Chain A
Amino acid sequence: MNEVEHTIKQLREGDELTISSVYKSNREKFISYARRFDINREDIIDIYQDAIIALTENAKKGLLDGLKSEISTYLFSIGKYMIYNHLKKNKNLPLLENNIPDNITWNDYAEEMQDDDVRKMKASFSKLGEQCQKVLRLFYYEEKKLDDIVTALAYSNKDVLKSQKSRCIKQLKELIQNDK
């Protein structure tokens, strides 16, 4: 396993030290790249942080597996895409369609953030027990298949996990009801 593969593995596992070292080692370069655009510093940092989050998400989804370039090149292509989106959003640029680079997925869920149901669900989700949060996060956020979650969380078999997941969703629905 070479260095890049090792870093990708660590990112996939959500290793905080790796995330922080990737963050630190590309930060200056990204800021100075972004400085030529009409974006204030706070927004640059905000965009950079989103790019780091997208990097870890894509690593978890396996999209970085077999990556031919450096991690920093990948991170920059996400960041550049986000800068253009930011410029576009704030200025109604008469732009060419800003296509997302290959191998990268990113949905900013801007619309959903404004949705009342989503807000309530989010609040209820954080009240769930730790195990439920783990299971649901692996399934919905990391898009792991149930078989992989069985292994990751050491369940004895898939049925046990399935009934756990159903219980968690039932609990969540009750919490949402109580919040109304």
Chain B
Amino acid sequence: MYTLGIDIGSATSKCILLRDGKKIAGSSVVAAGTGTDGPEQALKMVLEAAGADRKDILYVIATGYGRKKFQGADGEMSELSCHARGVHFVFPDVRTVIDIGGQDAKVLALNEKGRMMNFAMNDKCAAGTGRFLEVMAGILKMDISELEREAEKSADPASISSTCTVFAESEVISQLSAGTALPDLVAGICQSVAVRAAALARRVGVREAVCMSGGVAKNAGVRTAMEKELGVKILFSDMAQLMGALGASLYAYDAVRDRETSVQ
């Protein structure tokens, strides 16, 4: 039995196809989010990856900013609940999830059953989000995926504002003019994201184990800066970006089981 979770974010669309509520039959990530054909592409790709057909899927839950617009869903849930569920499936001991996506950052507090007990979201501001990294990578004429490698070379991260993307942009330009080394500049940018998200985490309360999810979690520079900022080890999975879709697929599985139970 297949269930599908689709996470339609501001910058990417992600799918997880789950078999019998336990095994991941396929996954997909498309760099196109809500308002594009990204969700359809992601769906097509995950079906191809799993060798499955659309009609094999018994239930679909959509999550992410585009969750209400996706026509092919049987239900929708907030990405906060879905990330909590997805992370708990992969790391059952995690009590704090720091999820940084394309346009927002969230911190979730989980109990031992993986249930979300508290959360905080960033203000309506790009600082401390994936968009911030994207803007900074643009100024430095780098691909966002290159930031991680460059940050690793830094010995002395530059100080970059975590308050505002616009302020930070002018600071980066000033630092470039002042001849700051590129690795230090990139590490400073990663630190800026970490500082902002760490402040959000402290608002919720940091309980170990701590895990990062969302697209920005793939950046080791941000993860390392976060570890320094919070003074805790940050757990990471290669599936970080897919945690929301995974959680959605698990909720879809619950829905099928609930339906079957009610029929019996």
Our verdict on whether A and B bind, yes or no, reads: no
